[in-house]
Amino acid sequence: MNIDFEKLAQKYNTPLYVYDFDSIAQNYNALKDAFAGKKSLINYAIKANSNLSLIAHLASLGAGADCVSIGEVKRALLAGVNRYKIIFSGVGKRDEEMQEALKLDILLLNLESEAEMVRLEGVAKELGMKARISIRVNPNINPKTHPYISTGLHENKFGVDIESAKRMYIYAKRSEYLDPIGIHFHIGSQMLDIEPLKEAAIIVADLAKTLKALEIDIRFFDVGGGIGVRYDDEITIDPKEYVAAIEEATKKLDVTILCEPGRSLVANSGWFVTRVLYEKNNEGKRFVVVDGAMNDLLRPSLYGAYHKIEALKDGTKKSKADVVGPVCESGDFLGKDVLLPQLEHGDLLVVHSAGAYGFSMASNYNTRNRSAEVALQNEEEMLIRKRECFEDLIALEKEYLDALSLKEE
Ligand code: LLP
The maximal CA–CA distance of the chain, rounded, in angstroms, is 76
pLDDT band at 154 (very low <50, low <70, confident <90, very high): low
**CA 150 to centroid of ligand 1, rounded, Å:** 9
Three-state secondary structure call for residue 158: coil
Distance, CA of 264 to CA of 353 (rounded, Å): 10
Task: Write the pLDDT tens digit of every residue in 198-208.
Answer: 999 999 999 99
> Does the annotation count 67 as an active-site position?
no
Nearest CA to ligand 1 atom 22: 189
**CA 260 to centroid of ligand 1, rounded, Å:** 9
Report the atom number in ligand 1 closest to the C-alpha of 186: 3
Report the atom number in ligand 1 closest to the C-alpha of 191: 15
Q: Number of C-alpha atoms within 13 angstroms, CB side, residue 225?
A: 25
pLDDT(1) > 70: no
Q: What is the average pLDDT score of the chain?
A: 95
Task: Write the pLDDT tens digit of every residue in 319-346.
Answer: 999 999 999 999 999 999 999 999 999 9
Question: What's the pTM?
Answer: 0.96
Distance, CA of 148 to CA of 391 (rounded, Å): 35
pLDDT at 405: 81
**CA 305 to centroid of ligand 1, rounded, Å:** 14
Q: Give the dihedral of Cα atoms 375, 377, 381, 383; nearest 10 deg.
A: -30
Burial readout 33-70 (b: 16 or more C-beta within 10 A, e: otherwise): ebbeeeebbbbbbbbbbbbebbbbbbbeeebbbbbbbb
CATH match for 268-392 among 3.40.640.10, 2.40.37.10, 2.40.110.10, 3.30.420.40: 2.40.37.10
Report the atom number in ligand 1 closest to the C-alpha of 361: 16
CATH match for 21-264 among 3.20.20.10, 1.10.443.10, 3.40.50.300, 3.40.50.10140: 3.20.20.10
CB 193 within 8 A of CB 241: no
**CA 102 to centroid of ligand 1, rounded, Å:** 24
DSSP class of 395: T
Nearest CA to ligand 1 atom 18: 149
Among candidate residues 203, 207, 135, the one with its CA nearest the CA of residue 171: 135
The residues spanned by each domain of the chain are 21-264, 268-392
DSSP codes, 97-144: HHHHHHHHT-SEEEE--HHHHHHHHHHHHHHT--EEEEEEB-------
Nearest CA to ligand 1 atom 24: 357
For the residues 121-139, what does the mean pLDDT come to? Answer: 97
Prior bond to 15 cis, omega within 30? yes
Task: Tell me the residue length of the chain.
Answer: 409
Amino acid at 39: K
Distance, CA of 196 to CA of 143 (rounded, Å): 5
Residue 320's Cβ-count burial label (10 Å; 0-12, 13-18, 19+) is: exposed
Neighbours of 205 (CB within 10 A): 22
CB 394 within 8 A of CB 38: no
pLDDT(147) > 70: no
Nearest CA to ligand 1 atom 19: 149
pLDDT(314) > 90: no
Q: Where are the beta strands (DSSP E) in 217-353?
A: 220-222, 256-259, 270-282, 285-290, 309-311, 318-324, 333-341, 348-351
Top mutation candidate among 156, 189, 268, 359 for ligand 1, by most atoms within 8 Å of CB: 189
Neighbours of 24 (CB within 10 A): 25
Cβ-proximal residues to 340 (8 Å cutoff; 6+ apart), any chain: 288, 309, 311, 315, 318, 319, 320, 321, 323, 349
**CA 262 to centroid of ligand 1, rounded, Å:** 6
pLDDT at 269: 98
Top mutation candidate among 112, 263, 268 for ligand 1, by most atoms within 8 Å of CB: 263
CB 51 within 8 A of CB 359: yes
pLDDT(350) > 90: yes
Report the atom number in ligand 1 closest to the C-alpha of 356: 24
Nearest CA to ligand 1 atom 16: 357
Residues with CB under 6 A from ligand 1: 45, 48, 66, 89, 149, 186, 189-190, 224-227, 260-264, 299, 357
Task: Write the pLDDT tens digit of every residue in 72-124.
Answer: 999 999 999 999 999 999 999 999 999 999 999 999 999 999 999 999 999 99
**CA 106 to centroid of ligand 1, rounded, Å:** 21
Top mutation candidate among 47, 93, 204, 222 for ligand 1, by most atoms within 8 Å of CB: 47
Q: What percent of the chain has pLDDT over 90?
A: 92
